[in-house]
């Protein structure tokens, strides 16, 4: 049994233990992904984030 969540109308998380809630809406896991020190795809992720300006070092000061 894992903690799951779904979003309400205002964008707030509603936590549940069910995989599917009323209305057939599928929930998402509330737990972060596992971390691995020998991450094979780290370089590709950083390259894509740099290309699309998503790195924290590329963020504007006002944001």
Tens-digit pLDDT profile for residues 9-58: 999 999 999 999 988 999 999 998 888 889 999 999 999 999 999 998 88
Q: Read off the pTM.
A: 0.57
In the chain, where the domains are located: 1-30
d(CA 10, CA 57): 30
Confidence (pLDDT) at 11: 94
Q: Is CATH 4.10.80.300 the classification given to domain 1-30?
A: yes
Instruction: For residue 2, give every residue at least 6 positions away whose Cβ sits within 8 Å of its Cβ, in sequence order, or none.
Output: 17, 29, 30, 31
Residue 30, Cα to own-chain centre: how many angstroms?
A: 9
């Amino acid at each position: 049994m894992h903690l799951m969540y779904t979003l309400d109308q205002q964008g707030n998380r509603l936590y549940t233990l069910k995989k599917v809630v009323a209305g057939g809406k599928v929930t998402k896991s509330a737990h972060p992904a596992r971390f691995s020190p020998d991450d094979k795809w780290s370089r590709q992720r950083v390259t894509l984030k740099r290309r699309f300006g998503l790195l924290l070092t590329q963020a504007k000061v006002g944001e």
